[in-house]
Amino acid sequence: MEIPVTCGLLALVVCAATTELGDWTILSDGGSENLVQLVADVLPRAQRELEQRLGLALRGRASIVLYGSVQGFHRATPGVDHRHTLGVAFPGERSIYLNCQEIEKRPLENVTITLRHELSHLIVGEVARRGYRRVPLWFDEGVAVWTSGKIPLYDTSEYDRAVAAGTLFPLAELEDAFPLDPGKRGIAYEQSESAVRFLARSRGAEAIPAILQAAGRGVEFGAAFHEAAGMDLADFERRWLASIRPGWPWLSWLLNAFSLFSAMSLLALLSFWLYWRRRRRRYQEWEAEERVTMNGGDPWL
């Protein structure tokens, strides 16, 4: 998650331990030492890979703050939807805040995914520092997932229903902010990822760093996108939506509208109907055999 508005450096004062690693300062307020070491091990390689993939380099000193308690993380990141948040990036101050207590409840590979995701936001934030133009939020978030992998923090059923019903948000509505409602916010994240992946698949992965580099030179995002992708944003959005539109939209919508419980109920009803049908057929066979027997015939012939 990227937060464009800086929280200030006062949040760093509470940290008790400091580790210097090249241009990075890793601060911990008493969280797991193993997690501090894991971050220090992962960070250099992750930065090299992301900078190469995005065609941008992080300039100047940066910091990672590891909060050992959920409460400390919440105090340092006011205004954030904390229900599904493992990390927050502040590109303006080149800082990443990690919610270690929640991260440690999950598999260790989630540490790498979360760190890479937030680091992607810092690197993409270089566009604004170089060209004074911030890329749209949907593109920024989509790139972060594209480069880093995905942790399934949101139930995707609402996104699937929105796709089937044709009620996704226009990308223009996701340029500066995502909805506050958790369900709608989840849809916004899912469609941002889908749009960026479609761009990389249809125009090649090199289109994404080309867009970022042009924007970093001060080119307006729409023009940078057209130059790299060979189409304007409106045409891209139409093609992307066509690529994800189901062949039978209403059937897909109905299927997605049912919960797992509803599906199990339908299966139970179907099983009962099949059982009743087999029993009815068997009764009919018995009645036919009775009629043959009563008429003196041999039921086995």
Which CATH number goes with the domain that contains 21?
A: 3.40.30.160
In a domain, 212, yes or no: yes
Residue 13 domain flag: yes
For residues 270 and 249, state if they share a domain. no
Q: Which one has a higher pLDDT value, 26 or 154?
A: 26
Answer yes or no: do 156 and 220 share one domain: yes
Q: Which two tokens stand for residue 211?
A: 């867009």
- Res. 260 pLDDT band, cuts 50 70 90: very low
- The span from the first CA to the last CA of the chain, in angstroms, equals 76
Claim to verify: residue 237 and residue 139 sit in the same structural domain:
yes
Task: Please indicate, yes or no, whether residues 183 and 280 belong to a single structural domain of this protein.
Answer: no
Domain total of the chain: 3
Helical pair 157-165 and 249-257, crossing angle rounded to 10 deg: 150
Predicted local confidence at residue 8, as pLDDT: 41
31 or 60, which is more confident:
60
Q: What is residue 190's predicted lDDT score, i.e. its pLDDT?
A: 93
Does residue 180 fall inside a structural domain? yes
Domain membership flag for residue 159 = yes
Task: Between 296 and 180, name the one with better pLDDT.
Answer: 180
Q: Are residues 88 and 174 in the same domain?
A: no
Do 66 and 35 meet the contact criterion of CB atoms below 8 Å apart?
yes
Using CB atoms within 10 Å of the CB of residue 266, give its burial: 0 to 12 exposed, 13 to 18 middle, 19+ buried.
exposed
Q: Are residues 181 and 83 in the same domain?
A: no
Q: In angstroms, rounded to a whole number, what is the distance separating the alpha carbons of residues 54 and 140? A: 11
Are 94 and 34 members of one domain? yes
Structural domain includes residue 130: no
Q: Which residue range forms the structural domain that includes residue 285?
A: 265-301
pLDDT given for residue 10 in this prediction: 43
Q: Does the pLDDT value for residue 301 go beyond 80?
A: no
Does some domain include residue 129?
no
On whether the CB atoms of residues 43 and 64 are closer than 8 A, the answer is: yes
Q: Do the domain assignments include residue 215?
A: yes
To 10 degrees, the CA torsion angle through 76, 82, 86, 90?
A: -50
The percentage of residues in the chain with a pLDDT greater than 70, rounded to a whole number, is 71
Last residue in a domain, options 96, 124, 152: 124
Note whether 141 and 243 are same-domain residues: yes
pLDDT at 150 over 60: yes
Q: Which of 82-96, 110-124, 158-172, 263-277 has the lowest mean pLDDT?
A: 263-277
CA distances from 89 to 62, 115, 129, 191, 219 (A): 11, 10, 15, 20, 24
Task: From 118, 121, 71, 94, select the one nearest 23 (Cα to Cα).
Answer: 94
> What does the alpha-carbon distance between residue 99 and residue 64 come to, in Å, rounded to a whole number?
11
Q: Is the pLDDT of residue 42 over 80?
A: yes
| Whether 199 and 150 share a structural domain | yes
Look at residue 214 and tell me if it is in a domain: yes
Mean pLDDT of 126-136: 83
Does 67 share its domain with 10?
yes
Least confident of 166-170, 212-216, 241-245, 252-256: 252-256
d(CA 17, CA 68): 12
Whether 161 and 243 map to the same domain: the answer is yes
* Token output for 234: 């409106």
- pLDDT of residue 46 exceeding 80, the answer is yes
Is the domain of 253 the same as that of 269? no
